[in-house]
Chains A and B, each alone.
Chain A
Amino acid sequence: MPPRIHPPSRTICSLREPQRSTPRQRQYATATAITPAASYGQMTASSPPIARHPPTQPPSYKPPEFRKSQLLRQYASLLKSTPLILLFQHNNLKANEWVGIRRELSAALQKVNAVRAAAGHTAEPLADAIKMQIIQTGIFAAALRVVEFYKPESQSSSSSIDPTDPATPSSATVPVFSSSGDGLTHTLSRAAHEAVADTRTAHALAPLLSGPLCLLTFPSVSPQHMKAALSILSPSPPKFPAPTRRANPGWHDAAIQSGLQKLLLLGARVEGKVFDVDGAKWVGSIDGGLEGLRAQLVAMLTSVGGGVTNTLESAGRSIYFTVEGRRTMLEDEQKEASGEMPKKP
């Protein structure tokens, strides 16, 4: 009769003597049996309609925690939002010189604001938004390339799907949001990086972006403010006279003067176009700004129109005078005739 207790199975043996067992992946057969496996299509293609990041913080190709990534974003938004930028080279200015120059600049700009307000311009005052800042040239050059050469096609239908909307079908593909960041079009995205990778020297402003550089940024093209700023920062007598000692004694301080000598105007970027020093001065010398130009154009057109109407009217008017003259003549004759007529009977 065989023994009733069976020898232990191979599994129990291996559990008892783990050191002798061959290293092998454990398989949990029961677990797979309970949870149905996802289909192949589900595993590879579909993504649940859940935004993986807040809409204001899309995944970034460059590490977002680095200062230079944030500077890149900041400079790109600066370039997009300020159509008028003056570039200066600053040669070892001291802190008190910077303070003095900024103070004089803001005072002069406030004066322009007051003048414009007195003249009845309703546009919002710009003086507070005009800033002078020192930039990191390399990162600024990269931001300039992104702004100038990277034009992502308009985002079609990407914003139409809202992942949090219950009406959105769960099979809908939420547009962006792959972990690799494909399809993103912001400044720090991979697409932007690759689009501008080989345009290192292509922009006209690129050679300027080396050495110590600072920017004076205007939120809109306002030649009046620009003229005030130029006459403070780099006065050149005929068109941009320096403030007189009586009008503005603060400008003639030793600290400010020594600072201004070290500040060198290099060029300007006006609405995407690059100007050298003379070009910048030309832009600053437009009288009355954009409104002034428009007023000049309107005045020219109305004077031309007046001339045309005068010429066109003159023919009709001469005919009118002729006919009128003839009519009065006829009337006189008629009167004479009628005056004679009652005498006869």
Chain B
Amino acid sequence: MITRFITEVSATFNPFLPRAKTARLFLSFLPPNARQTMKIDTKLLPKTSRESSFIQLKFKDGKQMKLDAEKLGIKGVVEEVDRHSRILSRQEELNGN
């Protein structure tokens, strides 16, 4: 997963639901130095809550993304993030950096 262009992550999930696995895996996919390069905000819901888990992302170009983690699955989430990140990396290359 390309994480260079993410500036802000906020994940909300109830770990006691099996579907929260996606959000938790997404957090574990971020690199070890992620806390220095982006703002990460994790919110754990109580055990009884039935709210669905979601991930909110902000990119360097200001694009915001709200991903329904339960429906997409971890592969879908990675695909969505990479789709935008590839566009950004191509722009970066064309600008001559």
Chain A interfacial positions (CB closer than 8 Å to B): 89, 91-94, 201, 204, 206-208, 210-212, 258, 261-262, 264-267, 274-279
Q: Which stretch in B25-33, B63-71, B88-96 binds the other chain? A: B25-33
Q: Measured between alpha carbons, how far is A92 from B32 in the docked complex, in Å?
A: 5
Please indicate which of the listed interface residues B20, B32, B33 has the most CB atoms of chain A within 10 Å of its own CB. Answer: B32
Q: Assuming A264-B42, A264-B44, what are 5 further A-B pairs, CB within 8 angstroms?
A: A94-B32, A207-B16, A267-B15, A275-B47, A277-B46
Report the minimal beta-carbon distance from A79 to chain B, rounded to whole angstroms.
18
Cβ-based interface call for B97 (8 A): no
Given contacts A207-B21, A276-B47, A279-B47, contact A89 B27 (CB under 8 A): yes
Main secondary structure of the interface of A (DSSP, over half): mixed
Count of chain B residues near A, Cβ 8 A? 22
- Determine if B28 and A93 form an interchain contact, defined as CB atoms under 8 angstroms apart: no
Given the complex, which residues of B lie within 8 Å of A277, measured CB to CB?
44, 46
Among B17, B30, B40, contact of A207 (Cβ-Cβ < 8 Å): B17
A243 to B24, CA, bound (A): 28
Instruction: Point out the residues of chain B lying under 8 angstroms from A265, CB to CB.
Output: 44
Would A91 and B44 count as touching, CB distance under 8 A?
no
Contact, CB under 8 Å: B16 / A93: no
Inter-chain contacts of A261 with B (CB < 8 A): 35, 40
- In contact, B21 and A262 (Cβ under 8 angstroms): no
CA gap between A110 and B20 in the complex, in Å: 36
The 3 A-B residue pairs with the shortest CB-CB distance, nearest first, are A276-B47, A207-B18, A92-B32
Question: Is the Cβ of A212 less than 8 Å from the Cβ of B44?
Answer: no
- A sample of 14 inter-chain contacts (CB < 8 A) reads A89-B15, A89-B27, A89-B28, A91-B27, A92-B28, A204-B16, A206-B18, A210-B21, A258-B36, A266-B15, A267-B15, A267-B16, A274-B47, A278-B46
